[in-house]
Amino acid sequence: MDAAYKKVNGNYESETGDGEKRGRRGSMYLEEETSNKSEVISCIFSIKEEVGALARALRLFEEKGINLTHIESRPSRTNQDQYEFFINVDSSCSQALDDVIDGLRKQISGPVHELSRSKEKDTVPWFPNDIQDLDRFANQILSYGSELDADHPGFTDPVYRMRRKEFADIAYNYRHGQPIPRVEYTEDERITWSKVFQELKTLYPTHACREHNRVFPLLEKYCGYRPDNIPQLEDVSHFLQSCTGFRLRPVAGLLSSRDFLAGLAFRVFHSTQYIRHGSRPTYTPEPDVCHELLGHVPLFADSNFAQFSQEIGLASLGAPDEYIEKLATVYWFTVEFGLCKQGSEIKAYGAGLLSSFGELQYCLTDKPKLQPFDPNKTSLQKYPITEYQPIYFVAESFEDAKEKVRKFAATIPRPFTVRYNPYTQSIEVLDNTKRLRNLADSISSEMGKLCEALQKFQ
């Protein structure tokens, strides 16, 4: 398997003091092996199912002297007459590959998506400018969703492995703008969900932050959150869009830190759709639908938390690799394992805590060390991945954390500033006077509305 995947998903498992066994995969999504990743360039192209079609496509590579290091295919779910091909080539072929891609686009009927980006020294890494650009890397995962490590509870279960492939295929064929396919979960899957759901729900009133507890009943009312029902990502995504503009997108496996954080800049959360193996409902070696729907989703419906999460994503766009690692660590200690002050108490808001029955109890005891959230210090903090955290960072509020992340983002060396335009769902790079003038006009218009509203209160 991929070296980066092994780094995140190493063969480890620990048993906590309360008997709950658990696995930890980096920051659920976040880990990046940039040295290995930069050696390979990947792309996906589609061709019609006809005699000689693949031979003609491969001839383009042969004519340019490009050696394919990996190729795989599968039927296209968006077009029954086409097959999709995923290929890897060595990065030394980068220049020649440009000509091949042009040839593919001119000579074949289906789309061509180049997935890898150049990471030459002192150049700004590629980042998506439009929400549809997320299609370009959504399948460039560090692991394929149906491939399981030998220590995975479902490794020897052929039915579970086939089921995982079904979920991976859904994510692989998804494109922005399409409805997320609905899944008919099995009885065994619903039983697993029920065990996790009921255990965690008993702790939320006393351990979860007020924002989580405010939203959770709404999810029960509008999205089918029940012990006997696993909610559909499409329904939850619509709910989030109506609350904060956040949306879900199915993903087949672990994305790199850079790609995952880039999604947050567009208020897009890449979410798994499969569920952990039923033989061990309290243990999962990877993020699953329980983690996403019970841990992440409630907070993405809160406007302050949504803005805070998006700030981390915006800070990642065009950032050097070393700062991506720092932002990933900030994400780990906030969105995944964050605590916050609420009145005289401290509550949990991190999804890794809110989806773990054992750690949700542990984090609010006197066993771990608590420190104030400061991105400059938090981003350098090392953390274990096979046991409960010895250190948690406590935010004064989501608003305070957001402002601190903004100030931290200003220290990232990049020759521009970015902002998200919610009307066009695109990133505006503020690197010339015209764009700055447009921003100033927009702010002036909003300030006018604010002044008008204030006058009416007098």
Give catalytic residues, as residue numbers: 291, 296, 336, 355
Q: What one-character-per-residue DSSP string does 343-397 give?
A: TTEEEE--HHHHT-HHHHHHTTSSSSEEEE--HHHHTT----SSS--SEEEEES-
Gap between the Cα atoms of 28 and 41, Å rounded: 25
What are the tokens at 299?
């907070």
**Separation of alpha carbons 47 and 31, rounded Å:** 33
Local structure of 337: helix, strand or coil: coil
Short-list 270, 300, 271, CA closest to 288: 271
Q: How far is CA 90 from CA 70, 95, 123, in A?
A: 10, 11, 20
Quick one: how many helices (H) and strands (E) in the chain? 18, 14
Tokens 């089918």 belong to 224
Give the 3-state secondary structure of residue 93.
helix
Pair of tokens at residue 399: 């608003």
Separation CA 60–CA 48 (nearest Å): 16
Integer Cα distance of 387 and 226 in angstroms: 30
Taking CA atoms, 189 is separated from 109, 231, 262, 406, 413, in Å, by 40, 12, 31, 41, 46
Calculate the CA dihedral of residues 386, 364, 212, 191 and round it to 10 degrees: 50
Cβ–Cβ under 8 Å, residues 391 and 369? yes
Question: What are the backbone dihedrals phi and psi of residue 303, each rounded to the nearest 5 degrees, phi first?
Answer: -65, -40
* Structural contact between residues 274 and 286, judged by C-beta atoms closer than 8 angstroms: no
User: What residues form DSSP beta bridges with 87?
Assistant: 43, 71
Report how far apart, in Å, the C-alpha atoms of 2 and of each of 136, 140, 332, 375 are. Answer: 20, 12, 22, 30
Which of 398, 369, 227 shows the shortest CA–CA distance to 300? Answer: 398
